[in-house]
Amino acid sequence: MKTRLTLLLMIICAASWAQLPAADEVKTSKGPLKIQPLNHATLALTWNGKTIYADPYEGAKTFEGVAAPDLVLITDIHGDHFDPATLEALDLSKAILVVPQAVADKMSEKLKSMVVIVNNGQTINKLGISITAIPMYNLPEAADAKHTKGRGNGYVLKMGDKTIYISGDTAGIPEMRSLNNIDVAFVCMNLPYTMDVTEAASAVLDFKPKIVYPYHYRGANGFSDTEAFKKTVNTTNASIDVRLRNWYPKK
């Protein structure tokens, strides 16, 4: 009976993992960095024995087969980035939540007890990871823009000898274009909320990450053309590894 139960649990776990897009690994000075695309702007990173979630969204089912988080990064107040119902459904018993002030202001008292507030230009160190918050905003700047400068955070993470950039919702802003020595980048592209494929490719060609994942590419009129993004980037710079992954798996 015990053997059958163990086998059943293994099958269930395998089925859960089968629902996830394939994970990638990048070598770092402190072991492999596992990159797990999940959904829209949601991803998980596993490194040095720690699991990091970015912008948990669309329920606990998104994370089936993924370890509970040690660190959660939230970029902005919109529901596809700050999803209180998903946060309440997850096991956050050991988690630190890194958020901008605007997100913290909208949190329940329970969630606030786990929060470290980081705003644009600030750097903190948690779990052996350097975390720098950088701006994310629309261009041209306007008071009624969907994303105003200073409200949300993009994040630059230093994990061993590798540097990772998570764009959040942004245009191809100067702060992105001036980044240096980025090993892995996650770059959004969905009109009318962020930027189009051409602008995203132009920004990536300016800051030249070694690896770039187009993510957050579902817009008002469907999905952005990530193949066109890859072609535009690699026609000019073939050394940038553009990784097209499925950020919208059917579950």
Beta-sheet strand order (sheet of 50-54): 24-28, 31-39, 42-47, 50-54, 71-73, 96-99, 115-117
Does pLDDT of 154 surpass 70? Answer: yes
Q: How confident is the model at residue 56 (pLDDT cuts 50, 70, 90)?
A: very high
| DSSP summary character for residue 186 | E
Provide long-range contacts, Cβ within 8 A and 24+ apart, for 230-235: 232/197, 232/198, 232/201, 233/201, 233/204, 233/205
Instruction: Please give the domain boundaries of the chain with CATH numbers for all domains.
Output: 21-242 (3.60.15.10)
pLDDT value at position 176? 98
Rounded to two decimals, the pTM is: 0.92
Does pLDDT of 13 surpass 80? Answer: no
Please, are residues 184 and 53 in contact by the beta-carbon 8 Å criterion?
Answer: no
What tens digit of pLDDT does each residue of 65-107 get?
999 999 999 999 999 999 999 999 999 999 999 999 999 999 9
Average pLDDT, the chain: 92
Does pLDDT of 251 surpass 90? Answer: no
